[in-house]
Structure 1
Amino acid sequence: MASLTAPAIVCAVRAHGEHGAILRALTEEAGLVAGYVRGGRSTRLRPILVPGNLIALELRARTEEQLASATAELLASRAPLLAEPLPAAAIDWVTSLTAAILPESQPYPALFSALSAVLDAIGVASSARQWAAALTRYELLLLAELGFGLNLDECVVTGSSADLGFVSPKSGGAVSAGAAAGYEERLLRLPPFLRGHDASPAMADVLEGLAITRHFIDRDLLDGRNRDLLTVRERLVSRLGRAVA
């Protein structure tokens, strides 16, 4: 019998049958895993199986091909954050994206750590600007871990690392201000915080960073599909924009 016992971040929960639920959760060593939770829609388990929550997960399956049975105990609840529209939108997006994009049973320890950090930041940051920057970096890491990393270290035209101010929407490479002259409207603006040059970016810069990651997530990870998922993201960005207006 295949088995797993590990801390896990709840990423998605779908009703199955009259009382059960299929859980998708991210673990550090096994990556994204799925399991059937008996009674997952009960009053006891519903508060535990909330996207964003950290749980103690146990999976058991007779074969590798069989959907595992799962049990979960709460380690840390982020459910109170779901009462606030902006944190709720952020948690909905980042967990839904993770569940939709990652292949199952492949380890991504860096993503587990980064997702944990984003969720922690949503809970404790004094302003949305702080956790939104962390969310943008998580999206960049997700692209990189799945083989679509952006080159933000040097100009794709000149090879120089100086005066980088834009990103090519085609190549995903940075472009210097000089090389971009006359083509600015065709490029995405590169905010300094994405290159580690601004520890406390303004929300306007964060929104520009999110515009970059949105373009490449849609093109390279979603491939024009899953429009409902992008609607979740657009709701989040709209709320962030109103927060800074």
Structure 2
Amino acid sequence: MASLSADAIVCAVRAHGEHGAIVRALTQDAGLVAGYVRGGRSTRMRPILMSGNLVALELRARTEEQLAGATAELLTSRAPLLAEPLPSAAIDWVTSVTAAILPESQPYPALYSALSAVLDAIGAASSARQWAAALARYELLLLAELGFGLDLDECVATGSASNLAFVSPKSGSAVSVGAAAGYEDRLFRLPAFLRGADTPPSMGDVLDGLVITGHFLDRDLLDGRNRDLLSVRERLIDRLGRAVA
């Protein structure tokens, strides 16, 4: 990709040199891309290059191997949300994990649409429960898109699609009530919303869902190595838990 012009969601910004910044952003057709923004740390550019913002991104590079030069114009600002602790923590996590685990220049249109929906939900939802459920579904989709999808359609032990109530932390598969008898304390509780149920989940359901997705993100995609990134998620979950209490 020597050049690109696309709407993009800013996912990570890192200082480079005295005044510049390297931005990593998710596009619909080109996936995660990176570019150097001259003056990216300036007073004018800092409000544009904020995680979660939607920008019109232009990338230009002489070769495929060269880091592209980038320019960005603001389309949608999420800056007001970053002033609120809980939405700010959610945006920090969802954009950071996207930047950390997606390979560059591989299209993931479903993830682009889902990330846009999560950010919109954070801005529009009247309660954290609504956007936190969207966040859990996004994490579930991340796992699936990167080849670590969970099998929540039928019981791993019986093959039945009825009475699915748990998830195995080893296989990532659903377990029915009957098959789980005597082993409940070794399994994750499976909230119905992760299987696409229309009933709005309680905050307890959402937190149960985030326990599941967090376990498999850590094990299969982050491999327990990126503690700084995981600490961002832990702070978010702690804040969500306190919001319920």
- Residue 227 of structure 2 corresponds to residue 227 of structure 1: yes
**What's the TM-score, normalizing by structure 1?**
0.99
- Residue 111 of structure 2 corresponds to residue 111 of structure 1: yes
What is the match of residue 25 of structure 1?
A: 25
What is the match of residue 200 of structure 2?
A: 200
- Deviates further, 194-203 or 130-139: 194-203
- Residue 18 of structure 2 corresponds to residue 51 of structure 1: no
CA distance in 1, matches of 2:157, 2:69: 52
| Secondary structure of the structure 1 residue equivalent to 2:65 | coil
> What residue ranges of structure 2 are gaps of 5+ in the alignment?
none
CA distance in 2, matches of 1:85, 1:130: 16
How much does 1:199 deviate?
3.3
> Over the residues paired in the alignment, what is the CA RMSD in angstroms?
0.7
CA distance in 2, matches of 1:12, 1:105: 15
- Residue 148 of structure 2 corresponds to residue 126 of structure 1: no
| Secondary structure of the structure 1 residue equivalent to 2:50 | coil
Deviations 1:148-177 (A, max 9, x none): 000000000000000000000000000001
- Residue 156 of structure 2 corresponds to residue 150 of structure 1: no
CA distance in 1, matches of 2:184, 2:44: 55
How much does 1:4 deviate?
0.2
How much does 1:224 deviate?
1.2
**What's the TM-score, normalizing by structure 2?**
0.99
Moved over 3 A (4+): none
| Secondary structure of the structure 2 residue equivalent to 1:51 | coil
| Secondary structure of the structure 2 residue equivalent to 1:149 | coil
> What residue ranges of structure 1 are gaps of 5+ in the alignment?
none
**Residue type of the partner of 2:34?**
A
CA distance in 2, matches of 1:136, 1:17: 36
| Secondary structure of the structure 1 residue equivalent to 2:179 | helix
Alignment of 1:1-245 (within 5 A): 2-245=2-245
CA distance in 1, matches of 2:99, 2:93: 10
Deviations 1:190-226 (A, max 9, x none): 0011111243100000000000000000000001110
CA distance in 1, matches of 2:126, 2:66: 44
CA distance in 2, matches of 1:241, 1:198: 23
CA distance in 2, matches of 1:241, 1:182: 28
**Residue type of the partner of 1:63?**
T
CA distance in 1, matches of 2:57, 2:197: 38
CA distance in 2, matches of 1:197, 1:78: 29
How much does 1:23 deviate?
0.3
How much does 1:7 deviate?
0.1
**Residue type of the partner of 1:85?**
P
CA distance in 1, matches of 2:89, 2:166: 28
CA distance in 2, matches of 1:130, 1:144: 22
Between Structure 1 and Structure 2, how many residues are aligned?
245
